[in-house]
Structure 1
């Protein structure tokens, strides 16, 4: 049977599936789609297990020693556990996600001569990462690249960065931009209420910078707005305390972790995303899908999704620029509507889930076919 027609057994490895971050959502949606298409999917993750809704036939394997922090003894044990699992499962392909799982998983797969792919949801040596960490991870990825069959970068920015840093040769890396599923019924974002609803969807953890957004909002109290934060994380309580101390707590809502943000986005007027560094955030694409204008920090592949047609990009740490961008969209109704419309058009053209999946499945099969020869 040709590999084009063959149904594959695929093991997806990610450091944790406990959070609702972009990489976890990507793996969830990818696994569900592949399983529904007749492929056999196994997910290998850390000891905290899975917090996502998955297809009934997808098997979850928890590896006790697969953790995010660098711990050599645990990392060796994780390698042995994963290798044992892969030896038992005998997959056609291993697909790894996140830095730790990407390193350990690739080593385990290659030791068994199994084709292995790494999806870079944003490099750990990108601009904005502290220099010592950047140098370390660049070195590690150069080594890991030698036992990698192929790499998927979720933005062209990240593909070019890997080439510029000589992490991988051009033949080993492709760009498959992130995509999100279209809604069964698209409901246009609310845009006519007097008090505008601003929203940011992201975990309260590095590299996200919700505190920068809160500081900028302190200078915009003369405007009619409410701010809605969706997400949990270690910095959430600090943000709540800051909002209270700054006198804006009555205009800021902390929604915590939400599995489905579709309704929240449909009721919003402006989407804001502030971060130190990124790949290509799914939440920005979801906001474009909802027809929202975007304000975001110009990091990673953000320029590929947010242009002057559908949003405003500001420099990292530019609180005045962020403040001005918010004020501009709050006071200009026509600009908000036009940007939201253009953003939705761009989503349908370039960032649909089906486009991403078609390209991903084709790449998976090309790797398996190449390794089989």
Structure 2
């Protein structure tokens, strides 16, 4: 099998994304962990970021052969993207171009055509479906349509979570032989069960600026129960959540930023995790909770029902307040059931989502791209 030590990999981040953004949301160590591992296999790993020159400060968290290429001009990301292939001196020396999400795939697609490099399109969700379900503006739907059609037509391999595999294959039949089911990875050594005093009844980690996350449904489900709820995340709806909790006699605590390393401690300080989201791609927050053996209440919706087996690794219901409430009370009242569900959830993550497994699978695919 081909050795990658003489190869260079280029990662193209998605719009509005960069190491500064990852750090702001406490995701930095999680997002760079795979690329620090890949740096052990490749000669050099380049990261094309949409962050400014301040990105370079994060080089201290990366392996010595991981190089950040920041956005050095102050223009909108949509205008900067087609300019990225002008980094000819760097891209010409790369062997594999990899995307981080569906947004941001036009630049590496152009680079592939110009420089004749291998293109791997990775995404944690189907962008066009995400735009449709979130009812994004027409221009956003058009962008995802174009980005998908261009990148998928010219890619050598396409990575998509197994939950979206059949949908994407049906949407783009020409991808059949290039499509690879590649789940998000979880650092199962970091995300472990912590036996700590219980400070919270419920924990939920999700941003506040997306209706799909259904914070409102959670607050409705626990109204009047007097439970203490911890929400971790940022977003424009924060004040609205605080007001709703006060009206519903819910003890609410919000923490905007928690580092990846601290998240297991917050799970360990909570009795159960409630994940009421209405749809997902391959949600890392849920996967991390499962890795920490949390008893989980969730909605049987796209991107969730395929991860949790009802009654075995969590409790699922339709996204109705009374049904979510019933499952919350059931888990809070039955600690033995919670331990059983959490143990099964951890086993599922170890078998399907561990960083070691994803790293090995990905590097094997890269090696096979160069087989003679």
Instruction: Choose which of 205, 209, 227 in structure 1 pairs with 2:214.
Output: 209
**Structure 2 counterpart of 1:180:** 186
- What whole-Å deviation, never above 9, does each CA across 1:16-35 have from its counterpart, x for those lacking one? 02434799766412211112
Residues of 2 paired with 1:323 and 1:101: CA distance?
40
Matched, 1:200 2:204: yes
**Structure 2 counterpart of 1:220:** 225
**Structure 2 counterpart of 1:125:** 128
**Structure 1 counterpart of 2:94:** 91
Superposition TM-score, scaled by structure 2 size: 0.84
Superposition TM-score, scaled by structure 1 size: 0.83
Alpha-carbon deviation of 1:171?
A: 0.9
Alpha-carbon deviation of 1:56?
A: 4.5
Tell me if the contact between 2:109 and 2:154 (Cα under 8 Å) persists in the aligned partners. yes
**Structure 1 counterpart of 2:347:** 345
Specify whether residues 335 and 135 from structure 1 end up closer, same or farther in structure 2 by C-alpha distance, changes over 3 A only: farther
Specify whether residues 27 and 94 from structure 1 end up closer, same or farther in structure 2 by C-alpha distance, changes over 3 A only: farther
**Which stretches in structure 1 are left out of the alignment for 5+ residues?**
none
**Structure 2 counterpart of 1:254:** 254
Residues of 2 paired with 1:215 and 1:365: CA distance?
51
**Partner secondary structure for residue 21 of structure 2:** coil
**Structure 1 counterpart of 2:292:** 290
**Partner secondary structure for residue 347 of structure 2:** helix
Residues of 2 paired with 1:86 and 1:178: CA distance?
31
Tell me if the contact between 2:5 and 2:41 (Cα under 8 Å) persists in the aligned partners. no
**Structure 1 counterpart of 2:47:** 43
Alpha-carbon deviation of 1:201?
A: 1.5
**Structure 2 counterpart of 1:62:** 70
**Partner secondary structure for residue 10 of structure 1:** strand
After the TM superposition, which of the residue ranges 272-281 and 329-338 deviates more from structure 2?
272-281
Instruction: Choose which of 334, 337, 343 in structure 2 pairs with 1:335.
Output: 337
**Structure 1 counterpart of 2:157:** 150
Residues of 2 paired with 1:136 and 1:83: CA distance?
18
Residues of 2 paired with 1:287 and 1:328: CA distance?
18
Tell me if the contact between 1:288 and 1:340 (Cα under 8 Å) persists in the aligned partners. yes
**Structure 2 counterpart of 1:100:** 103
Tell me if the contact between 2:295 and 2:338 (Cα under 8 Å) persists in the aligned partners. yes
Runs of 4+ in 1 over 6 A off after TM superposition: 21-25
Residues of 2 paired with 1:318 and 1:65: CA distance?
47
**Structure 1 counterpart of 2:241:** 239
Quote the RMSD (CA, aligned, Å). 3.0
Matched, 1:116 2:137: no
Tell me if the contact between 2:49 and 2:68 (Cα under 8 Å) persists in the aligned partners. yes
- What whole-Å deviation, never above 9, does each CA across 1:150-205 have from its counterpart, x for those lacking one? 1100x222111111222652112110122211226944455x85x75311112222
* Aligned residue pairs, count: 354
